[in-house]
Amino acid sequence: MQDKVFGASYHAVNIALSAPLLITTRLANAYGLQAVLLGMSIIVAAIGI
């Protein structure tokens, strides 16, 4: 049973790590890499403040 729990956790972590990459790739293709990086930096700066 413990292996099933760790296996499910491993798959959940992999999905959680790959989802932002897919979203960022699609945004970069649609709006350009520089615009996406600028937008992300503004969001991070606003959260930091």
Q: List, for residues 30-45, the tens digit of each pLDDT value.
A: 999 999 999 999 999 9
Query: Residues 6 or more apart from 36 whose CB is under 8 A from it?
Result: 24, 27, 28
Put simply, whether the predicted model's pTM sits higher than 0.75 gets the answer no
Domain ranges, ordered by start, for the chain: 2-48
Question: What pLDDT, on the 0 to 100 scale, is given for residue 3?
Answer: 79
Measured distance CA(46)–CA(37) in Å, rounded: 14
What is the rounded average pLDDT of the residues 20-35? 92
